[in-house]
Amino acid sequence: MGSGKTPLLLHACCGPCSLEPLRLLREEGFEPTICWTNPNIQPIEEHDLRLRTLQDWAREVAHVNVVVAGDDRAAWERAAAPHGFDREARCRACYALRLAEACRTARELGFDHIATTLVVSPYQLFDVCHDVLAALAPAYGLTPVWRDFRDWYPRATTRSRELGMYRQNYCGCRFSAAEAAIERHEARDARKARKASGHA
Ligand code: SF4
């Protein structure tokens, strides 16, 4: 702080999704600090791997501070898991839990602005996430910095590969792992069917 830039707490879901928001928010005149609060990531080994990936990149490449906030996994089970495969309801509850903790942390640390990397991935529910942050931030006396980063997702994919970062193939919870596996199987079956019909 004291750089003439506007301090901002940037909730980060993982390292690869942080690359472009950090760069773009800095270009806009913000000075982001990253906040980790992702009790949705299962199993715990996967959670720890994503956190480590983020911290290594933040320290060695991006030179940005990472605050590790609360990771209440029991609260996630109570709030999000009961929605099961009702994806919209489950993700809404999941966003709300994580973004509320990020907002609480922002207030505690004296930030006025908050943003999230959740909206980089086109696989996230953009409008649902927007509604959640737009409702939560003012309740904590914060200004939400909402940007559509989705156009930068391909660049984030390329850059994270170049940096050798660990890249997960599901969002985080056990339901998303099952949903992603089903989608991969369906895509594989469709490829096989096209090949068999001579349209490969
Ligand atoms: S799919 Fe992702 S955002 Fe939705 S509940 Fe699971 S971990 Fe949370």
Paired residues of 68 in beta bridges: 36
Instruction: Give the tens place of pLDDT for each residue, 21-80.
Output: 999 999 999 999 999 999 999 999 999 999 999 999 999 999 999 999 999 999 999 999
Distance CA(15)–CA(167), nearest Å, equals: 8
> Ligand 1, residues 17, 40, 130: which to mutate, most atoms within 8 A of Cβ?
40
Distance CA(178)–CA(169), nearest Å, equals: 11
Cα(176) to centroid of ligand 1, in Å?
A: 6
Listing DSSP states for 20-77 in one string gives: HHHHHHHHTTEEEEEEE--TT-SSHHHHHHHHHHHHHHIIIII---EEE----HHHHH
In words, the CATH class of domain 6-169 is alpha beta
Distance CA(74)–CA(183), nearest Å, equals: 28
Kindly give the number of the ligand 1 atom that is closest to the alpha carbon of 40: 7
Distance CA(137)–CA(124), nearest Å, equals: 19
Distance CA(93)–CA(181), nearest Å, equals: 22
pLDDT of res. 197 = 87
Kindly give the number of the ligand 1 atom that is closest to the alpha carbon of 94: 8
Tell me what the pLDDT averaged over the chain comes to.
96
Residues with CB under 6 A from ligand 1: 40, 80, 90-91, 94, 171-173, 175-176
Distance CA(184)–CA(182), nearest Å, equals: 5
Residue spans per domain, the chain = 6-169
Distance CA(20)–CA(54), nearest Å, equals: 13
pTM of structure: 0.94
Residue nearest to atom 6 of ligand 1 (CA): 173
